[in-house]
Amino acid sequence: MNLSRISLYHLRMPLVSPFETSFGRSETRDCVLVEAQADGPSGFGECPADADPGYSYETCDTAWHILRDFLIPAVLDQNLESAGELQNRMSMVRGHLMAKAGLEMAFWDLMGKSQGRSLGELIGSSHQRVDVGVSVGIQSSPQALVEVVEGYVTQGYRRIKIKIKPGREVQETTAVRRRFPEMRLQVDANSAYSLENASMLKGLDELGLLLIEQPLAEDDLWDHSRLQEQLKTPICLDESILSARHARQALEMGACRVINIKMGRVGGLSEAIAIHNLCYARDVPVWCGGMLETGVGRAANLALAGLPGFTLPGDISATERYYREDITQEQFFLNADSTITAPSGPGLGVTVDREILRRYTLKELTVP
């Protein structure tokens, strides 16, 4: 495959409701959409860096810089037969995994379209209906949180994740647990605790949670292993896992018992599959995380989450949970059994609506 032209779009999309985590509150979601052209129809990829470096050091502006000045020049007009060859061309850039992931996703979409096969077929997904849940942001009070959760349960979500931060965890999670004693429930701290104040998390250990996601700093595998020793509830790592090597080391250290896989965070779909394969071979449950993606990134997440090792519900919700209007013609709906069906068309199986895309584009660049 010869990539002859690549375009970047910095998008800012209004969320249907503000999303608050331990690292901040947002009413909009930014991303960099990558469009790659070979012979036939173009391929799209989503780089999920946001406007601010709250979840990761990458932002849309750093991704833009790295894509424009380094990654695009390295991959244009090369004869690339596989995503592995694309990654080789990008390997002179250290880090900047979300920038690389956006470009790799566009490459996969192109490959699928040129072969007339869906992304799920290309990577060997075993099922098209993917078990999903919803990630609920920090609310004004435990009561307000219970009401928001009730709304999602009414819509049919059977797995709920609650965002927590120090002082806003035990009462909140207990209130939801009392209201829904049987619900599949988990929490996500986004690195807000340290080993010193992690005793606050002990109050969660009797609530029958599926997992506690990323309680400590992203660069702190060792302290996660010490905390895991003190908890019955499995720790799940998100921010800490940037590669299959990290995943192996975290498991061998006992730093976690579950892994959240996000292709954006780990540099692309190939590395996400490598982490899945490692965990599958070791019987370690994984699930597909989300980053409030548009329909483009959501389609890729659904294909990934169709691999057989994804035994826990993913953070992949229906379009209407995120956006009133999405950039893809396809919308995603929740099935009655709390699943979402992965698209079956070639590549990502979604079509970008040019007019809607224009509405949310802050800036745009085409090379050459």
Residue 143 to residue 135: CA distance in whole angstroms: 17
DSSP 352: B
- CB of 16 or CB of 367, closer to ligand OSB: 16
Binding mask 289-318 for ligand OSB (x = CB under 6 A): xxxx----------------------x-x-
Angle between helices 97-115 and 83-90 (to 10 degrees): 150
Strands in 235-237's sheet, in edge-to-edge order, are: 134-136, 159-163, 184-188, 212-213, 235-237, 258-261, 286-288
Binding flags for ligand OSB, 315-334, as an x/- string (CB under 6 A): x-x-----------------
Asked if residue 266 binds ligand OSB (CB under 6 A), the reply is: no
Q: How many residues bind Mg ion (CB under 5 A)?
A: 3
Among 188, 223, 271, 326, interactor with Mg ion by CB under 5 A: 188
CB of 291: closest distance to Mg ion in angstroms? 9
Name the amino acid, one letter, at 151. G
Rounded to a whole number of angstroms, the minimum distance from the CB of residue 188 to ligand OSB is 5
Q: Cβ of residue 291: shortest distance to ligand OSB, in angstroms?
A: 4
161 catalytic residue (yes or no)? no
Active site residue 262: yes
- In the bound state with ligand OSB, the residue whose beta carbon lies nearer, of 111 and 136, is 136
| Segment near ligand OSB (CB under 6 A); pick from 72-80, 277-285, 287-295, 349-357 | 287-295
Among the listed ranges 102-110, 206-214, 219-227, 246-254, the one in contact with Mg ion (CB under 5 A) is: 206-214
Catalytic residue among 163, 165, 232, 363: 163
Supply angle C-alpha 83, 88, 89, rounded to 5.
100
Cβ-contact 288, 310 below 8 angstroms: yes
Q: Output the six-digit token pair for 271.
A: 């590395």
Binding mask 122-151 for Mg ion (x = CB under 5 A): ------------------------------
DSSP one-letter string for 189-201: -TT---TTTGGGG
Smallest gap from Cβ 262 to Mg ion, in A, equals 8
Applying CB under 6 A, which part among 167-175, 276-284, 288-296, 337-345 lies near ligand OSB? 288-296
The smaller minimum CB distance to Mg ion, of residues 189 and 300, is found at 189
Q: Write the DSSP assignment of 42-60 as a string of letters.
A: -EEEEE--BSSSSSSS-BH
In terms of Cα–Cα distance, which of 30, 23, 27 is closest to 47? 30
Closest separation in Å from C-beta 313 to ligand OSB: 11
Options 190, 191, 270, 294; binder of ligand OSB; rule CB under 6 A? 190
Residue by residue, DSSP assigns 144-168 as HHHHHHHHHHHHT--EEEEE--TTS
Strands 184-188 and 159-163 come out as parallel
Q: Smaller CB distance to Mg ion: residue 172 or 188?
A: 188
Interior CA angle at 99 toward 95 and 100, to 5°? 75
Report the nearest approach of ligand OSB to the CB of residue 101 (Å): 14
| Cβ atoms within 10 Å, residue 304 | 26
Q: Helix (H, G, I), strand (E, B), or coil: what is residue 103? A: helix
Site for Mg ion in 31-70 (CB under 5 A): none
Closest CA to 266 of 92, 104, 115, 156: 104
For Mg ion, the binding residues in 218-277 under the rule CB under 5 A are 238
Q: Which residues form the interface with ligand OSB (CB under 6 A)?
A: 55, 135, 188, 190, 238, 289-292, 315, 317
Catalytic residues: 163, 262
